[in-house]
Amino acid sequence: AEQKKGFLSGCEKNKVNSKVANQVFEQIETFARYGFNKAHATGYAYVAYQCGYLKVHYPEEFMAANMTSEMDSSDRIYKLMDECRRMKIQVVPPDINSSFKDFTVKNNQIRFGLQAVKNVGAGVVDAIVEAREKDGEFKSFPDFVSRVNLKSLNRRAVESLITAGAFDSLPGNRAQKVEVVERMLEFGQKVQVSANTVDLFASEGTAIDRKEPEMLDLKDWPIMEKLSKEKEVLGIYVSGHPLDRFRSEIENFGTSDTEKIANVLDGREVRFGGIISSLKLMNDKRGNQMAFATIEDFKGSAEAIIFSDCFEKGKNFISPDNIVMVTGRVSTREGEAPKVIASDLFPLDNLCERFDCRLVIKIEAKLAENKLSAVQDQLGKNIGKTPVVFEAQKNGKVYLIKSKRFMVSPQNQLMINLKEILGESAVYLQQN
């Protein structure tokens, strides 16, 4: 009371409006409930300065340390991965020939830690690192099971490591390696047992014949299945993302993302793209089908409530692993994560059916003639109503040139084919 009296008296002397003076003091009073003294604030400021310094001068190491500290939180790792992408820091999957327990940095890349893999405990990691440091990198799957102490290893751990991409540096694809796991472990067991026993029937100086299991001639899993399995054991996508080919469209046509939704006011409309990572179907009070969907993007995930009228319009494509654009209003309740009440939901490869858009193709000055010919061939095979714009750079300036020759129907396969020719970031849709 005395402080308020002195404050208001001082304001009056300095000709400050009494209403303004009271409002300012109320703000000061509220802040005082959680405000820090100078010593405390200085300590926090010093820590903030240290973090800022490390992020600027040692960005890879700083982000790797953060990811290690958040290893058990997929949501936090998602956000850190997105920050790494923004900082142009590459994050690569775990590797039995270079990873350790925690996230590490090598050649300006952040390598996933082995203990971040589901079903892989500290004992498994220690056994792998010990064998690697003793006799060098693993050359093959049989070499791995022959050298790593199998008392610390089991089938689930090996399958999880393969699925996470940790065996990618060895011969064979992931599908082949998962199929042969059981036989490889049996082989490794025989090798390790024989190394500790004497074969009374073997000729002196001869080795016990242990034929290495052969991998079947299998094709690797399709990319979507590969990424889905990878996410099961890592909690996030690492070697790629199902949304990568739609990154530009999500940024150009969306008004929000799953991270920003958390700060949007109740009732506001948002539009964001993502993959349906989980879906729960149920009937409403009238017996009509509705759904609760988890939509995942590059920043995290958000729940969308799809009532019967919206569900009926999109029931043919509302299913797990489908990539969609969601329009709806944000619903917030105290103590709960914000949800989006969907009013419209449609596949991301149908954007031009909903929006007035154009196909933008980035053309490099030194583009090979065969590539240019391939692009023209693809555009000529997909005639439609969407204009084509070529983006070119000269002397640091960007020029947009509308094609007089081509109007296309930008179906999914056309986009895939063009991106295979020119690269993922060179082809995208944009609103007119």
Alpha-carbon 267 to chain mean position: 28
What is the model's pLDDT at position 74?
A: 84
What is the model's pLDDT at position 205?
A: 47
Record the pTM: 0.74
Q: Which CATH superfamily is domain 245-349 in?
A: Nucleic acid-binding proteins (2.40.50.140)
Q: Of 352, 371, 348, whose CA–CA distance to 360 is shortest? A: 352
Contacts of 280 (CB under 8 A, 6+ apart): 291, 292, 293
CATH 1.10.150 fits 77-198+221-234, yes or no: yes
The pair of three-digit structure tokens given for residue 308, joined into one six-digit string: 């019967």
Distance (Å, whole) CA 64 – CA 84: 10
What is the model's pLDDT at position 199?
A: 56
What is the model's pLDDT at position 195?
A: 75
Beta-bridge partners for 401 = 390
Q: What angle do CA 161, 165, 168 make, to 5 degrees?
A: 110
Phi and psi at 44, nearest 5°, equal: -65, -40
Cβ pair 391, 399 in contact under 8 A: yes
What is the model's pLDDT at position 262?
A: 87
Distance (Å, whole) CA 298 – CA 241: 8
Phi and psi at 127, nearest 5°, equal: -65, -40
User: For 253, how many CA atoms within 13 A lie in the half-sphere containing its CB?
Assistant: 30
pLDDT tens, N- to C-terminus, the chain (432 residues): 788 999 999 999 999 999 999 999 998 888 877 777 788 889 999 999 999 999 999 999 999 999 999 998 888 898 899 899 899 999 999 999 999 999 999 999 999 999 999 999 999 999 999 999 999 999 999 999 999 999 989 999 999 999 999 999 999 999 999 999 999 999 999 998 887 665 555 555 445 556 899 999 999 999 889 999 999 999 889 988 999 888 888 998 999 999 999 889 899 999 999 999 999 999 999 999 999 999 999 888 999 999 999 999 999 999 999 999 999 999 998 778 899 999 999 998 878 888 888 999 998 878 888 898 999 999 999 899 999 999 988 888 888 999 999 999 888 889 889 999 998 889 999 888
Domain ranges, ordered by start, for the chain? 2-32, 77-198+221-234, 245-349, 356-431
